[in-house]
Structure 1
């Protein structure tokens, strides 16, 4: 009997979209070992020169002109991709995307970014007869996600579902599944073993993430955090940005026995388990991973648009707080040094998580819907 095949299409505008695709792919295989999955970043795969250049330009715009990004997000907030954009995407991707689909013969296509979502939707208008699931990877619903040809929307919360229905999407085409996280985040790891693996001490620990695009190193609050380094262990994760890592390692303020500066790692789940506080950009994926671990979060410098919406959701629901000043740092760095208060808060967060989020829901829903 032929194994079921799922093709997951994403884009590299921020790591969260592709992370969500891989998380869902691995989750599907974990729950149903016979299933076959393939994840592709469409632009990079089909245009290996132009695709990375466009993403690099986007990164520079985010870091240098975030207000412009927010303005573009808001100005088209309630609009689907216009006909000109859809036609341009169609001309860029039509032939090659059709060939990929013909070659892989998927039973289901899942898109975790609006660009491949629009490309596949147009292919469906032209006769492609494969279900299209759209996984919205934030706690908001921008109009660019919406296409009539989508078979099912997989969304993070009931609020996002309402935003879609308010724009004319039938409620029967929407499933509240939560954003999927990698199965590594489905379990809790032994703290002592993880500390030994990363050469960490058993002391109050803060995990600081989001430096992969170089947006964190220049922040004055990062320097301020290091003033706590004698009583709080600091783990900086800067992803694949080796330039930032080298700068930090060469900077005397980060040269301390209680400070670790890490590059790319697949062990974020373990690092969250040994940490008492997570400081991060409010991207949909990282926030969902933090929620899945029940770790309190501080959010810094949300990019205008979807990150602001993500931040608002997690703050409103009590999972974290906006990092606005040195006073916020002092408050939380002092709290995690009080075992009773810190433990009580963590248990409260875990109870909220259990009410609002189940990490297996999204892959389970996809498998059920495939039936």
Structure 2
């Protein structure tokens, strides 16, 4: 349901900025576009900051992110954790310095900001936010600048000068930022923006019938697209060999190597296997599942939690995903595992302990925020109303 938070002075123009390093930022931007699009007098534009960077820098950043996170995870952890600081002044100075170094490679992005000149800037990734602080200051652009943090624990690089508000995953995120010295008045606990279809009720049995999945047996969904194929194969094989009676649905997504790695696996004595590639019913499958096994990306985890489905977290990327996994475990909505051998017995334990599974579902319902994107849109438009009213009064 839309609120009365609608701009009072005609069409409101919103520019949402992300950087295509990982898919989570893209999905968050798309969710926000969908939410703002529900207002008839709001015009939304979504842009990838890296599309406006020099080809050399764009290629360097993309390759560095992929190589470090996938092939040198320990080094990635050292860089990620080593660059985080609880000293607010030091953190903001560091990001300001970094933006000055990056700026010569983002001249087209700078031109976009000046030419577009929207009513509101929204950044869902660090790069456009830290560049925006420079451009706004130099050219006297006074539009509000909001940051939507897409991780459950915020790295210090999310914090910049002249940001008018931060939108956060939950209370834990806010508590840690306040401890680091962020003004509590800038913090809005809304959840991470996820697709709006998650607001719609989807009964478990109905979703199973819709996709021809067994109704009565336990159903485990494993989203393995971002995981190492042989590790997933090991997990799947052990689940198939377990005494648990049920259904295992493995989604490979775009990971063709994973599809190949699972090709010769067959049903176990008690567990039936459904091996899928890329699907367009991820939310349906989450709603149909008793347990979801996946990585700890901020978006997929938020989607699962918002459905009230318990999580088993495996192989988080060092850095932000490890921090997300810690938050998920702290909230009581999921279990984080480091040993592959523990996945099958953990899933079996959960299925054999319905009271524990029910507890995790209840915790997920408490912390899940399916309306996050709508809540962010409503609050930003409400703040824009207040800003426009103040301008009208000043003009009089």
Q: Structure 2 length as normaliser, TM-score? A: 0.82
Which of 154, 176, 183 is 1:141 aligned to? 154
1:168–1:331: structure 2 CA closer, same or farther, 3 Å change rule? closer
User: Would you say 1:65 and 2:69 are equivalent positions?
Assistant: no
Once the 2 structures are TM-superposed, how far is the Cα of residue 263 of structure 1 from its aligned partner?
Answer: 2.9
| 2:259 corresponds to 1:242 | no
Partner of 2:5: none
With 252-261 and 188-197 compared, the bigger mean Cα shift is at 252-261
**2:20 paired residue number:** 12
Structure-1 residue corresponding to 2:120: 108
Q: Match of 1:356?
A: 367
Measured against aligned partners, the alpha-carbon deviations of 1:269-307 in whole angstroms (never above 9, x if no partner) come to 111011110111111111111110111111112222221
Larger Rg, first or second structure (1 or 2): 2
| Aligned pair partner of 1:168 in 181, 186, 198 | 181
CA distance in 2, matches of 1:323, 1:8: 35
Q: 4+ runs of 1 displaced by more than 6 Å?
A: 254-257
**TM-score scaled by length of structure 1:** 0.87
- Is the contact between residue 179 and residue 362 of structure 1 (CA under 8 Å) also seen in structure 2? no
- What is the rounded CA distance, in whole Å, between the counterparts of 1:53 and 1:251 in structure 2? 38
Q: What's the C-alpha RMSD, in Å, of the aligned pairs?
A: 2.7
1:227 aligns with 2:241: yes
State whether residues 223 and 294 of structure 2, in contact with CA within 8 Å, keep that contact through their aligned partners in structure 1: yes
Are residues 260 and 370 of structure 1, via their aligned partners in 2, closer, same or farther at CA, if it must alter by over 3 Å? farther
Deviates more, 1:49-58 or 1:104-113: 49-58
1:29-44, aligned counterparts within 5 Å? Answer: 29-30=37-38, 32-44=39-51
CA distance in structure 2 between the partners assigned to 1:97 and 1:21 by the alignment: 17
Give yes or no for the alignment of 1:119 onto 2:131: yes
Q: Secondary structure at the match of 2:316?
A: coil
> Residue by residue, what CA displacement relative to the aligned partner does 1:113-170 show, whole Å, maximum 9, x if unpaired?
1111111111122122221101111111211111112111111122322332333322
Superposed, which structure 2 residues align to 1:189-338 within 5 Å? 189-192=202-205, 194-202=207-215, 203-212=217-226, 214-219=227-232, 220-228=234-242, 231-245=245-259, 247-253=260-266, 258-325=272-339, 326-333=341-348, 335-336=350-351
Does the residue aligned with 1:179 lie in a helix, a strand or coil? coil
Gaps of 5+ in 1: none
Is the 8 Å Cα contact of residues 278 and 290 (structure 1) preserved in structure 2? yes
Aligned length: 363
Identify unmatched segments of 5+ residues in structure 2: 1-8, 86-90, 386-396
Shift of 1:53: 5.7
Give 1:348 deviation, angstroms.
3.4
Distance 1:82 1:366, change over 3 A: closer
Whether contact under 8 Å (1:281, 1:299) holds in the other structure is yes
For residues 249 and 193 of structure 1, what CA distance do their matches in structure 2 show? 28
- The separation in 2 between residues aligned to 1:250 and 1:357, in whole angstroms, is 35
SS at 1:239's partner residue?
A: coil
